[in-house]
Structure 1
Amino acid sequence: MMGNNFMKSLDLKCPIIQAPMAGGITTPVLVSEVSNQGALGMIGAGYLKPDQLRVQINQVKALTNANFGVNLFVPEHFELNEDQVAKSKQLIDNYELLLNHKMKEPDLPTKEIEKQTYEELLKIVIEERVAACSFTFGIPTKKTIENLKQNGIMTIGTATTVPEAIAIERAGMDAVVVQGSEAGGHRGNFLVDSPNSMIGLIALIPQVTDQVSIPVIAAGGIMDGRGLSAALCLGADAVQMGTAFLTCKESGANPVHKQAVLQAKSEDIVSTKAFSGKEARGIENRFMKEMHVHENKLPPFPVQNALTQNLRKAATQQKDADFMSLWSGQSPTLAREETVERLVRRVVNEANLILNK
Structure 2
Amino acid sequence: MIAWTDRRALDLFAIEHPLLLAPMAGSGGSALAIAVAHAGGLGSLPCASISLQTIEAEVRLFRSTVPGSRINLNFFAHTPATPTTEDTQRWLGRLAPYFAEFGVDVAALPAAGGRAPFDAQMCSLVESLRPEVVSFHFGLPADALLDRVKATGAIVLASATTVIEGRWLESRGCDAVIAQGYEAGGHRGNFLTDDMATQPGVFALVPQLVDALKVPVIAAGGIVDGRGMAAALCLGASAVQLGTAFLLSDEATSVTAHRNALRTARDDNTAVTNVLTGRPARGVVNRVMRELGLLSEDALPFPLAGGPLTPLRAATEPDGLGDFQPLWSGQSGALVREAAAAQIVQDVVEQAARLLRLP
TM-score normalised by L of structure 2: 0.92
16, 19, 28: which one aligns with 1:16: 19
Identify the residue that residue 206 of structure 1 maps to in structure 2: 207
SS in 2 for 1:336: coil
Task: Give the number of aligned pairs.
Answer: 353
Deviation at 1:114, TM superposition (A): 4.6
The answer to whether residue 90 in structure 2 is matched with residue 82 in structure 1 is no
Deviations 1:161-218 (A, max 9, x none): 0000000000011111110000011110000114255201111001001111011110
Contact 1:32 1:68 in 2 (8 A): no
Identify the residue that residue 40 of structure 1 maps to in structure 2: 42
Q: 1:84 to 1:339 in 2, by over 3 A?
A: same
Separation in 2, partners of 1:57, 1:313: 30
Deviation at 1:333, TM superposition (A): 1.5
Contact 1:160 1:197 in 2 (8 A): no
Separation in 2, partners of 1:349, 1:293: 38
Separation in 2, partners of 1:181, 1:136: 15
Separation in 2, partners of 1:205, 1:293: 27
SS in 2 for 1:322: coil
The answer to whether residue 226 in structure 2 is matched with residue 225 in structure 1 is yes
Deviations 1:44-73 (A, max 9, x none): 112122222222222222322211111100
Identify the residue that residue 9 of structure 2 maps to in structure 1: 6
Identify the residue that residue 312 of structure 2 maps to in structure 1: 311
Identify the residue that residue 181 of structure 2 maps to in structure 1: 180
Unaligned 5+ runs, structure 2: none
Separation in 2, partners of 1:316, 1:78: 29
The answer to whether residue 148 in structure 2 is matched with residue 147 in structure 1 is yes
| Residue correspondence of structure 1 range 5-154 to structure 2 within 5 A | 5-22=8-25, 24-65=26-67, 66-100=69-103, 102=105, 104-109=108-113, 114=116, 118-154=119-155
| Residue correspondence of structure 1 range 213-252 to structure 2 within 5 A | 213-252=214-253
SS in 1 for 2:173: coil
SS in 1 for 2:119: helix
SS in 2 for 1:71: strand
Amino acid in the other structure paired with 2:97: N
Contact 1:142 1:172 in 2 (8 A): no
Q: 1:323 to 1:114 in 2, by over 3 A?
A: closer
Amino acid in the other structure paired with 2:13: L
Shifted more, 232-241 versus 293-302: the winner is 293-302
Q: 1:92 to 1:56 in 2, by over 3 A?
A: farther
Shifted more, 257-266 versus 273-282: the winner is 257-266
Identify the residue that residue 349 of structure 1 maps to in structure 2: 350
Unaligned 5+ runs, structure 1: none
Contact 2:270 2:282 in 1 (8 A): yes
Separation in 2, partners of 1:311, 1:189: 28
Amino acid in the other structure paired with 1:183: A
Shifted more, 59-68 versus 9-18: the winner is 59-68
Separation in 2, partners of 1:352, 1:160: 27
Contact 2:248 2:259 in 1 (8 A): yes
Separation in 1, partners of 2:96, 2:288: 12
Determine what percentage of the aligned residue pairs are the same residue.
33
| Residue correspondence of structure 1 range 266-345 to structure 2 within 5 A | 266-292=267-293, 295-345=296-346
TM-score normalised by L of structure 1: 0.93
Separation in 1, partners of 2:126, 2:198: 29
Deviations 1:54-96 (A, max 9, x none): 2222222232221111110003252312112112123334223
The RMSD of aligned alpha carbons is: 2.1
Separation in 1, partners of 2:330, 2:294: 23
